[in-house]
Amino acid sequence: MMIRNLVLSLCFALFLAVSSCRRNPSPKKPNIIIIYTDDAGYGDIGANGAKGVETPNIDLLAKNGVNFSDAHCSAATSTPSRFSLLTGSYAFRRNAAILPGDAPLLIDTKKGTLPKMLQKAGYETAVVGKWHLGLGEGDIDWNGEIVPGAREVGFDYSFIIPATPDRVPCVFVENDRVANLDPGDPIEVSYQHDLGGYPLGTEHPEMLKMKGDLQHSGSIINGESRIGYMKGGHSALWVDEDFPIVMVQKVKTFIQENKSHPFFLYFAIPDVHVPRMPNGVFVGESTMGRRGDDIAEMDWCTGQVIKELEDLGLSENTLIIFSSDNGPILDDGYDDQAEELLGDHKPWGPYRGSKYSAYEAGTRMPTIVYWPGHVKHGSSSAMLSQVDLYASLARLVGQKVKRGDAPDSEDHLDAWLGKTQKGRDVMLEESFTFGLRMDDWKYIEPVSKATPGWLKNKKIESGLTKKVQLYDLKNDIGEQKDIADENPRIVKKMQGKLQKILNE
């Protein structure tokens, strides 16, 4: 009996030690919030020169934090960038491309992730917003538990748009289940054929708030045709115009519930991705129509986070990282007049290119790090990639990156906190080809294959050429003068470095 009691007390002590290690870590650990916008370009915020729309909340972060001019997402599209941010691994290592809404989970659940690393450090973790990293293992049953998903990637709480706002299914998934689903009206999804569910954009243009291109002419949900087809799930359908209200509420609840111990929040705001459907409150807030109004909406969401932290007295103990997942784009499939109403606004800032592009604007993101009392305000030209946040935040919270995890993540914590202007020596930029940065040199790998038709049709500069390109960003920030032919040695050196990364 005594031995049994002894064993029981030992187990209890062990349990207490483990749980206190998880829930009551050293009080020094700051909360970490990544505010991750969608398709917002370097120039889309007031602090970086936006015209025709005001972003007072984001500007407040910039004014009181570090505003970066050479910080990048890892790729010029969403899925690859989000993959790198959460895994510390370049996306090509997993063949990551833009995923359809019924794709399986892309992230290897056996490997470490940024949120899992933070869980180990005692953080409660949450994702609210756009996911776009796949769910489940094969054919997804949207009516049951959808696993593996955000929980298996390391998020204790999740409230997600499964793929993108322009892809079915147009429902939120909360902690592995479709929110508000009526079991009597099950959901079916297909990216191959019409399921005879909702009317189609191709057949009912009169039902649309904005016309979509052919790819965006599948099921009509909330007056907008989407990519793909869905059936059922009427009670669970989202209302795009309510995104900011619904998501900010989830964010606030999570922050309130976790105010007394460290938390990590990945708030993936779906603005300013298509279809751009701002809440009525923001309609007319810009001179640029829907795209500009969506920027105002994204700024409001950011402001709500700042306000909640202030109300709870958490500001000084919370590190906010504000950024975006890929460069800006005007026409991305819907008639929303983004081009016509642009005026003098330059979403790409002084850089060349856009979303999908190998030029700088494809990955050079508006990036701000804000941590009152800990980060001095100013600007930084350190060259950084979001793939580095994993290793950098690991140091901040006193965790080691396990061998085999986060293979591409470099610890640049001091640069992220504005303590040094020295960032990476070499950086990969993924797009439909590879770009490589070495100091101010920018190399773009030529492609032999023809540019896909849908990309060719876009009014963008993809940067895809059969010829090697080299630019000197120090003297040519706009990548106008290709000097590859004059600099064969630099080209060779950079090709060698790129091959090394690709073969690692």
Q: At its nearest, how many Å lie between ligand NG6 and the CB of residue 226?
A: 10
By beta-carbon proximity to Ca ion, the closer residue of 40 and 236 is 40
Per partner kind, with CB cut-offs from 5 to 8 A, the member of ligand NG6, Ca ion, none near residue 164 is: ligand NG6
Distance CA 375, CA 434 (A): 33
DSSP-derived letter for residue 122 is: T
Sole binder of ligand NG6 in the list 120, 132, 250, 345 (CB under 6 A): 132
66 beta partners? 369, 378
From residue 276 to residue 315, what is the string marking binding to ligand NG6 with x (rule CB under 6 A)?
Answer: ----------------------------------------
By beta-carbon proximity to Ca ion, the closer residue of 122 and 362 is 362
- CA-to-CA separations, 176 to 126, 141, 231, in angstroms, rounded: 13, 11, 19
From residue 439 to residue 468, what is the string marking binding to ligand NG6 with x (rule CB under 6 A)?
Answer: ---------------x--------------
Q: Are 138 and 154 in contact (CB under 8 A)?
A: no
Q: What is the DSSP string of 473-495?
A: TTT-TT-----TTT-HHHHHHHH
Q: At its nearest, how many Å lie between ligand NG6 and the CB of residue 404?
A: 28
Residue list 162-201, contact with ligand NG6 (CB under 6 A): 164, 166
- CA-to-CA separations, 312 to 138, 307, 332, 426, in angstroms, rounded: 42, 9, 39, 41
Q: Are 280 and 152 in contact (CB under 8 A)?
A: no
98 binds ligand NG6 (CB under 6 A): yes
Burial 286-319 (b: 16+ CB within 10 A, else e): bebbbbbbbbbbbbbbbbbbbebbeeeebbebbb
Per partner kind, with CB cut-offs from 5 to 8 A, the member of Ca ion, ligand NG6, none near residue 361 is: none
78 binds ligand NG6 (CB under 6 A): yes
Q: At its nearest, how many Å lie between Ca ion and the CB of residue 455?
A: 15
Q: At its nearest, how many Å lie between ligand NG6 and the CB of residue 212?
A: 9
Q: Are 451 and 461 in contact (CB under 8 A)?
A: no
271 binds Ca ion (CB under 5 A): no
Sole binder of Ca ion in the list 325, 331, 360, 410 (CB under 5 A): 325
Do the strands 31-37 and 263-268 form a parallel or antiparallel pair, or are they unpaired? parallel
Find where tokens 């064969």 sit. 488
102 binds ligand NG6 (CB under 6 A): no
Distance CA 310, CA 308 (A): 5
Sole binder of Ca ion in the list 84, 89, 326, 431 (CB under 5 A): 326
User: Residues interacting with ligand NG6, by CB under 6 A?
Assistant: 38-39, 77-78, 98, 132, 164, 166, 215, 227, 273-274, 326, 332-333, 454
